Amino acid sequence: MHKMLIVGGVAAGATAAARARRLSGDAEITVLEAGPDVSFANCGLPYYIGGDIESRSKLILQSPESFKDQYNVTVKTMTEVVSIDKDAKTVEVLDKGSGSKATLSYDSLILAQGGKPIIPPLPGVDKDHVFSLWTLADMDAIHDYINDSEPATVVVVGGGFIGLEMVEALKKRGLDVTVVERLPQVMPNLEAEIAGYLTEELTAFGVDVLTNRAVASIKDSSVVLDNGAEVPAEMVLMSVGVRPTLKLAEETGLALGEAGGLLVDEFMRTSDENIWAAGDMVEIEHRSHGKKVRIPLAGPANRQGRIAATNALGIKKSYTGSLGTSIVRVFEAVAGSTGLSLQRAREAGIPADAVVIHKENHTSYYPGSKQVTVMVIYNTETAVIIGGQTAGYAGADRRLDVLATAIAAKMTLGDIADLDLAYSPPLGTANDPVNMAAFTAENRQSGHSPALTAGELDAWAGDKKPQIIDIRETFARDRAHVAGSVHIPLSYLGENMASLDKSQPILVIGENGKKGHQALRQLIQAGFTEVVNASGGYISLERYQRAVGFNNMEVGMGELEAKSLEASNETANESAPETEIAPAAASDGPIVVDVRSPEEYTTGAYPDAVNIPLDELDDRIQEFGPFDRDIIVYCASGARSAYAQRILMQTGYTNVQNGGGITDMMYKR
């Protein structure tokens, strides 16, 4: 009978045990777990603290008893493996309750010891109000401390995904939260502009985000930063990363790898033929560039545990590596990445470019659509996708998974442009944001539409000192713009081209990159040679500015609308205030009528314009007064207002003008 010992009983270890039992009915399987709990949902810990998960017991996925009942696996908790004799194929275990030691033998040994949060040796780090979050016991300690001591302020040290999930949880518990991050941005695996989307959300929810800052010491009710500033902190959460647990492996003489993890081959076997390993403690191959990396995430840990058990039982199954696909939700913002970022790709010597698009997650005419951002990173020699990042509230997860699948399948931009993705008006768009990102990347790749991401533009702008043309509508420009840019809305570009210098490079900035592409094509067709579109438009520039800031462009940032947890719990769908036409006698000029929807109207309207949506025009026609009254109608593009003009004229109004789109109206003003 095969004797399998598994060290560690959470993600990788518990999965390995269950898999081993499914493969072998008679193997003797024992899980040795140093802690008090086995198979618990550590990814769920922040949501219990925040109150989204109300029942603590839901986080406990298995107990020693249920493991025995369901799988006939023996689980020994509070049992630490303290040494391994790989020649004798035995381990020495310490019963942490009684202090007694015992020796157990194995045919195969699976190490699934995970890692531990890094706690930097700062003065004051061992104070009672300083916590980290890795286990149920950590969670309980934080939960109880908030209940008992009622801290009002907390500093979260580290802006990675656990830190940010905890920001939301701590806000939900009523604390004032400050995030201190040593790097220039939160979530360093994300491109700066994608991280900027999260920074916007954190800021809107009143969280202070201090980047390029480190905590130097911790006092009783504050932390001191590396610049000497003091930040109130009646509680401190350390969340600066995780270090693999390697002492036992090192003492056993198992080989470590170049990325600082335990070395395993494609079968998850260590340098010893009877010992396998899986999860946060190992280093594995990155599927995008084949280099060794450590990816401490639950998905890879589970799959590696499954594969380690399969091989330990003599069935060959190889692990193909990981893309490090990860996603985080912070309040109402979701952002994630898969594969390589543009920077990592270039650092790895891969010729890479990227584009970014922002598009509605489902058709804009169906209520409730939200913008989703998709960035694709691709190899410029092969057009194969090597990375992807997404941001948005609804639909960012789905697009990220499509990109992860495309990277794993080594798809080219052309393959992705042709993907048939699910579409129905409430659920998607006929050209999915993923398709659109691929079209845009093909346009950059072919030279049809040169574009640079926000991160690339900074250096380019510093070098080229371009003429910057802002083609957005007036409201958007008034909200925020790049200092020194010229405002020429797209529809006025043709008539203003003569004012532009053909010998100078041009940077075109639209709202989201799409109209920027149109403007760029117009300019190129008119003989301008060096024109670049800001990929992702102003949305991307503003997020980049908020995350890390430009050095060579002065990018204005609009005021963020403050958000609150109370407001997001209410179904906020406030309609625009209804407007009325003044009686004819009260006005001497023409009436300006905005025939867009109330939601569009609230985003910005012509001064004193009356909002009568096209659908309501028939019912409200008596409000217009005498038939000779001067009326100007406008909408977003001039299409709906053309209908409105026709309806009014058919009714008998003689002086009706179609003012066109809001951009035209504002520009002519």
Ligand X SMILES: Cc1cc2nc3c(=O)[nH]c(=O)nc-3n(C[C@H](O)[C@H](O)[C@H](O)COP(=O)(O)OP(=O)(O)OC[C@H]3O[C@@H](n4cnc5c(N)ncnc54)[C@H](O)[C@@H]3O)c2cc1C
Residues that bind ligand X (CB under 6 A): 7-8, 10-13, 32-35, 42-43, 45-46, 80-81, 112-115, 133-134, 162, 245, 248, 279-280, 296-299, 301
Least Cα distance to 267 among 407, 108, 115 occurs for 108
Alpha carbons 523 and 494: distance in angstroms, whole number: 8
Q: In this complex, which beta carbon is closest to ligand X, that of residue 34 or of residue 531?
A: 34
- The SS3 of residue 320 is coil
Task: Say which of 631, 635, 662, 666 is annotated catalytic.
Answer: 635
The yes-or-no answer on residue 635 being catalytic is: yes
- Shortest spacing between CB 92 and ligand X, in angstroms: 10
What is the number of residues in the chain? 669
- Shortest spacing between CB 40 and ligand X, in angstroms: 8
Q: How far is CA 76 from CA 31, 352, 564, 627, 644, in A?
A: 6, 49, 45, 88, 76
**How is residue 654 written in tokens?**
């003689």
Q: In this complex, which beta carbon is closest to ligand X, that of residue 131 or of residue 606?
A: 131
Q: In this complex, which beta carbon is closest to ligand X, that of residue 34 or of residue 384?
A: 34
Pairing of strands 385-392, 531-534: unpaired
Q: Spell out the residues 6+ positions from residue 206 whose beta carbon is closer than 8 angstroms to its own.
A: 171, 176, 562, 564
- The gap from C-alpha 232 to its chain's centroid, in whole angstroms, comes to 28
Least Cα distance to 438 among 476, 384, 394 occurs for 384
Alpha carbons 642 and 512: distance in angstroms, whole number: 26
> Phi and psi dihedrals of 188, rounded to 5?
-65, -15
- Shortest spacing between CB 303 and ligand X, in angstroms: 11
**How is residue 109 written in tokens?**
């040994």
Residue 573 DSSP symbol = -
Q: How far is CA 167 from CA 178, 186, 198, 326, in A?
A: 8, 12, 12, 18
Contacts from 344-347 at CB under 8 Å and sequence distance 24+?
Answer: 344/387, 345/288, 345/289, 345/377, 345/379, 345/386, 345/387
What is the DSSP track for 341-390? -HHHHHHTT--EEEEEEEEESS-TTSTT--EEEEEEEEETTT-BEEEEEE
Q: Which residue type does 96 have?
A: K
Alpha carbons 61 and 39: distance in angstroms, whole number: 6
Q: In this complex, which beta carbon is closest to ligand X, that of residue 111 or of residue 468?
A: 111
Percentages helix, strand, coil for the chain, rounded to the nearest 5?
35, 25, 45
Alpha carbons 603 and 617: distance in angstroms, whole number: 21
Q: Is the dihedral of CA 262, 268, 271, 274 positive or negative?
A: positive
- Shortest spacing between CB 267 and ligand X, in angstroms: 17
Q: In this complex, which beta carbon is closest to ligand X, that of residue 36 or of residue 484?
A: 36
Q: In 205-269, which ranges are continuous DSSP H helix? A: 247-252
Residues 168/169/171/172 CA torsion (nearest 10 deg): 120
- E strand segments, 125-219: 130-131, 153-157, 176-180, 208-210, 215-218
Residues with catalytic roles: 635
